Amino acid sequence: MKLNLPPLPLKACVLAAALLSAAALGAVLAKPVLVSVDNAPDLEATVPKAFGDWKLVPSLRPPVITSTSDEPNIDQPYDQTVMRSYANSKGEVVMLALAWGRRQQQEVKVHRPDLCYVAQGYKVRSLAPAAFSLTGASGQRASGKHMVAVTDGNVEAVSYWIRIGSMYSENAFETRMHILKEGFQGKIPDGILVRASQSMRDPNDVPQAWPVLDRFLVDLAQAVPASTRAMLLR
């Protein structure tokens, strides 16, 4: 049966066409494109093996971190990683982990240490906000967490921050909102985990670790080239 539909007014047709065109243009403009990270420095090459009072030593244990992947995904989101141990003249040993991902998206982004440690058998005894003695080119102070994790009689004091694009990620919701906001601006932000930790046997010694780790991270940031520092801090 043939339906005889009334003709649409010219104004309605023009308005509909304009709305469809605007939607199509918005979709094109909102399509994320990678910016500002194509020439990222090689962390393995630019992070020195000796700086300040710190020198490279054999690693104490396998690192609690996901490895890199040619095709970053949910389980392996990193394009570059550095896992090392350093010791100073006092015999203090710090384990360093840097994990950088070129593309931070809703389901493929830097893994939070409080989740990674638990996945590898640790129990998180405490997790508290931390402000570090470091600022990037923007003048923004690095902020992250102090975490205490325990397993098999070993206690680990962990200082870390996660930078996603121009922000220091404090929680999952803020991270998702920032990635979404960047996407609307046509950007896919990069991201990095900067983590330093000390292993100890006595939980009462944990407070002594925080200034050591803070000093180590300051020395590290001062020792790397400006391009690498820009990856660590914003």
User: Which residues, 6+ apart, have CB-to-CB distance to 41 below 8 Å?
Assistant: 225, 227, 228, 231
Q: Where are the alpha helices (DSSP H) in the chain?
A: 10-30, 43-46, 113-119, 172-184, 206-223, 226-232
List the domain range (segments joined by +) for residue 73.
Answer: 32-232
- CA 39 to CA 98: how far, in whole Å? 18
Domain assignment present for residue 7? The answer is: no
Domain assignment present for residue 3? The answer is: no
If one counts the domains in the chain, the total is 1
Domain assignment present for residue 179? The answer is: yes
**pLDDT recorded at residue 36:** 47
Q: Tell me the three state secondary structure of residue 23.
A: helix
The answer to whether 100 touches 234, Cβ cutoff 8 Å, is no
Q: How far apart are the first and last CA of the chain?
A: 67
Domain assignment present for residue 210? The answer is: yes
- CA 150 to CA 154: how far, in whole Å? 6
pTM (two decimals): 0.77
The answer to whether 101 touches 73, Cβ cutoff 8 Å, is no
**pLDDT recorded at residue 153:** 79
Which DSSP state fits 176? H
| Over residues 16-43, mean pLDDT | 57
Domain assignment present for residue 21? The answer is: no
**pLDDT recorded at residue 7:** 55
**pLDDT recorded at residue 152:** 86
- Mind listing the pLDDT tens digit for each residue in 168-214? 877 767 766 766 776 667 777 788 999 999 999 888 999 999 999 99
**pLDDT recorded at residue 107:** 46
- Mind listing the pLDDT tens digit for each residue in 132-173? 999 888 888 999 999 999 998 789 999 999 998 888 877 767
User: Can you tell me which residue has the tokens 């994790």?
Assistant: 149
User: Which residues, 6+ apart, have CB-to-CB distance to 220 below 8 Å?
Assistant: 47, 51, 54, 96, 196, 232
User: Can you tell me which residue has the tokens 């093996």?
Assistant: 49
Domain assignment present for residue 74? The answer is: yes
Mean pLDDT score of the chain: 80
- Mind listing the pLDDT tens digit for each residue in 88-114? 999 999 999 999 987 665 444 577 889
Domain assignment present for residue 187? The answer is: yes
The answer to whether 213 touches 200, Cβ cutoff 8 Å, is no
pLDDT band, residue 115 (cuts 50/70/90):
confident
Domain assignment present for residue 209? The answer is: yes
